């Protein structure tokens, strides 16, 4: 190995290692969590018990591509963005 190549490897080696660490510790887990969240949102259906990001618990009574209607109490239905659903509690109980 020539001295120039060794110097280049010495300069770029730590940078390459840092990029690899960044990928495996930050980017990859975030991408996996995003896939799980999208899968959960795609599996929502009428009758599921869910919790919103704001901590409101309810049962889905109607659902479309962007909105969900939640029954949170007797005679009380609210409309929230589908993306605001944080957890599908029905799915969690079955798992």
Instruction: Output the pTM of the full model.
Output: 0.71
Pair 65, 84 in one domain: yes
Counted domains in the chain: 2
Pair 54, 95 in one domain: yes
Written as tens digits, the pLDDT of the chain (95 aa) is 677 777 777 788 888 899 999 888 988 999 999 999 999 999 999 999 999 999 999 999 999 999 999 999 999 999 999 999 999 999 766 65
Query: Residue 34 is part of which domain span?
Result: 1-42
Pair 95, 49 in one domain: yes
Task: Round to whole Å and give the CA distance between 67 and 85.
Answer: 10
Pair 10, 55 in one domain: no
The sheet that has 85-88: what strands, in order across it? Answer: 76-81, 67-73, 57-63, 49-52, 85-88
């Amino acid at each position: 190995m020539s001295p120039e190549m060794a110097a280049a490897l010495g300069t770029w080696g730590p940078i390459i290692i840092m990029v690899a660490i960044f990928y495996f510790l930050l980017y990859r887990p975030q991408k996996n969590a995003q896939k799980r969240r999208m899968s959960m949102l795609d599996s929502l259906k009428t009758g599921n018990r869910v919790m919103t990001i704001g901590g409101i618990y309810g049962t889905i009574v109607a659902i479309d591509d962007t909105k969900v209607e939640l029954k949170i109490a007797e005679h009380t239905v609210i409309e929230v963005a589908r993306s605001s659903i944080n957890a599908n509690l029905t799915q969690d109980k079955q798992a």
